[in-house]
Chains A and B, each alone.
Chain A
Amino acid sequence: MKGNDFKHRFVVSTVFLVLAMSGLGVRLAFLHLGTNKEIREDVALSRRWEKTINVRRGSIYDRNGEQNVLAMDLPVKNICADPYVIGKNDHVFDTAVILAETLDLPVDEIAVRLSRSNRRYVPIKRFLLKEEANNIMTRNLAGVFAEDAVMRFYPQKSFMCHVLGFVNYEGAGSAGIEQGLDKYLKGCPGFIESDKNALRQELYTRRERYVAGVDGADVTLTIDQNIQYMVEKILDELMDAHKAKGAWAIVERVKTGEIIGMASRPSFDLNKFYETDENALLNRTIGSVYEPGSTFKMVTIAAALNEGIVTPETIVNCENGSWFYKGRVLRDYRPHGDLNIADTLKKSSNIGVAKVALMLGDKKLHEYASRFGVGEVTGIDLPGEERGILKSVSKWSGISSTRIAIGQGVAVTALQMISVICSIANDGFMMKPYIVRAVSRNGDGSLMKSQPQVRTRPVSQETASTMRKLLGYVTEEGGTGKAAKVDGYSVGGKTGTAQKVINGEYSSSAYVASFVGFLPVENPEIAIIVVVDEPQPFHTGGYVAAPAFGKIAEHTVRYLDIQPTGQNIALK
């Protein structure tokens, strides 16, 4: 009996096992040999492992290259918490107090976040420097952890803020160089396609695709950090001294068009761009148009000289300060009788220049203004450049030329005005202004290298040479711009005081004061423009902007080692 039982059980078990194995075998064959596309895809998908390889955004340097970093990607930490763990240990309030004290955040806000115990992840504070994050992590708080992140960091905070611009939370350049050169700076992220194991770790042997990321290229600017610092400091002093609404300045190399300093006020902290109001974000040097006032007279006089209509000795009657033309009165700041062209410019006579414009004619005045680039962008490698306003001749009234000639009814940017004076200082050649010196990756090879480029030549060499002399008189005794003088250097330039248009009318209390000039007159190297918006209580270009020009120029010529006028050279 026992033998039979055993045999019976053995047979049953065997049959059962064979059936089971056959079933599994059939299922296995069905899965592997059949066309179970959906199942196969589901399995493959659940095992898929994809990862984007983030790349570093390029750095931005001043003209001296890697020595002076202006913008860079910085590894930082984000402090996060696991409310589930904190809630389970009943540490919500204690943890919130410690986090609030260390991170300078409101306790109640953190407590609310930590009390969401159904969540496993809440961010507490983003972008902390390593040392700051360590202060928290050394407390060993249960449920609090730090994750790696990268932030765009500007080591010098508000320094050069309008030129550099900033990067938004999505990592895209949103202003300045960050926006203008985003395609070079952002690089190209790489990616990995592979399978993962049950622990969600990559199975290296199953890696199907690996595309290496390319780091962003580094940008070297033409701006010199030290000149920029001086310009910004002087503008800050100017804003304080004159309680101005805004102030901006540019320093440009006359012969090449390189911008070596560019600043705008008010400024903002680049690391906290999101806390800044729109007004401060505007780069006024290229984004703010204003009526140039008397600084535009050099365009009119240069045009008339170039056309041979006047010479520096031509006498113009300045009507003792008040002149009626086509039923409208035009006044001078101070009354003058007969003045030659040189003195007309030196003393900035509105009437004298308006009469020259009438001699020149509407078409020619418009043509020369266009030739000098008014109403057109200069093409600088910064986003947000304004064109300025120059109406076509057909829209001019009978008195338009007399007003445009003295800088009313025409609007420019500071960059356009400095380009005008640079072309006069550079034998009539107008260079294209540029602010990016080179773009390179990993220091080897250049993706882009800027070269000086001639845009146009509005006036002849002779006219430019004459204009340089005439503009040199402006800073001499009796000229409106004598405050722009620099000890040891001859300075040429022009003051400008323009009434602002408020609600369609010229204001009697709001002015734009400016000074644009170059030095040395004999062989110009640098040009500088300073514009001040609504200075109080004094508002003339000669009083407000010219001294700031002088200060910037003095520092710049010394820093750049430009030889003083008439200085002898000793032989070694």
Chain B
Amino acid sequence: MRKNKKKRQVNAFVFSVPYAGVVVLITTLALVYVWLGCRCESLGARIVSLEGAKRAVDDQYYNEKCRWARMKSPVNIERALVKNNIVMQVPQKNQVVWLRDLNLFDNQMDVQKDGILRFAKLEKVVGNEGK
């Protein structure tokens, strides 16, 4: 019996519950801090990579825009017409018929001082723009 009693007296360090709680809390906070730091790093890297992708797409867009502008330029269109043997001419005076659309609103007509109707549409008519 005596021998058994001696065996129970083990000299060990035992955490008290509050102390263990504090240690766990600090450890958790430290881990969260590390995790947040890593997360920030990874988000930062992702932002940089997305910025790079955006820049690449922008570059592509502006290159295409430039190519398109060059293709559409009057000199290129003229060159294309010549290349394809297409001849375009301005119609002669007697080939043009001016139409007045009776259904047009009043503000779509430009009436001269003497009451004669001059234009019956807005688009491209130099005097009527912005009405």
Contact = CB atoms under 8 A, between A and B. Distances in A.
Interface in A135-165: 153, 155-156, 159
Given A229-B75, A563-B119, A155 B69 contact: yes
Interface residues of B, number: 38
A205 B37 contact: yes
A178 interface: no
Interface stretch (A40-48, A65-73, A364-372): A65-73
A568 B127 CA distance: 18
Q: Which of A68, A156, A225, A559 has the most CB of B within 10 A?
A: A156
A564 B117 CA distance: 13
Nearest to A156: B73
A130 B63 contact: yes
Contacts of A155: 66, 69-70, 73
Contacts of A563: 98, 118-119
Contacts of B62: 72-75
A555 interface: yes
Contacts of B58: 75
B75 to A, nearest CB: 7
Contacts of B70: 155-156
Given A563-B119, A564-B93, A72 B37 contact: no
B23 interface: no
Interface in B89-113: 90, 92-93, 96-102, 112
B76 to A, nearest CB: 9
Contacts, number: 101
B83 interface: no
B7 interface: no
Given A226-B74, A523-B118, A569-B98, A156 B69 contact: yes
Contacts of A255: 127
A248 B99 CA distance: 37
B79 interface: no
A185 to B, nearest CB: 16
Interface in B15-43: 37, 40-41, 43
B72 interface: yes
Contact of B66 (A68, A74, A487, A488): A74
A519 to B, nearest CB: 11
Contact of A560 (B47, B65, B126): B126
A202 B43 CA distance: 13
Interface in A237-256: 253, 255
Contacts of A75: 58-59, 62-63
Contact of A569 (B40, B74, B93, B117): B117
A229 B75 CA distance: 8
Given A156-B70, A570-B97, A554 B125 contact: no
B65 A72 contact: yes
Interface string A198-225: 0000101100000000000000000001
B124 interface: yes
Contact of B69 (A69, A226, A568): A69
Interface of B: 37, 40-41, 43-44, 47, 58-59, 62-63, 65-66, 68-70, 72-75, 90, 92-93, 96-102, 112, 117-120, 124-127
Interface of A: 67-70, 72-75, 129-130, 153, 155-156, 159, 202, 204-205, 225-226, 229, 253, 255, 487-488, 522-523, 525-526, 554-555, 558-564, 567-572
24 contacts: A67-B72, A69-B69, A73-B62, A129-B63, A155-B73, A156-B73, A205-B40, A205-B44, A225-B73, A253-B126, A255-B127, A522-B112, A523-B112, A523-B127, A525-B127, A554-B90, A559-B124, A560-B124, A560-B125, A569-B117, A570-B97, A570-B99, A570-B100, A571-B99
List 4 tightest A-B contacts by C-beta distance, closest first. A204-B44, A229-B74, A75-B59, A69-B69
Given A69-B69, A253-B126, A526-B126, 14 more contacts: A68-B69, A69-B68, A73-B62, A75-B62, A153-B66, A155-B70, A204-B47, A523-B127, A559-B124, A562-B126, A562-B127, A564-B93, A567-B98, A570-B100
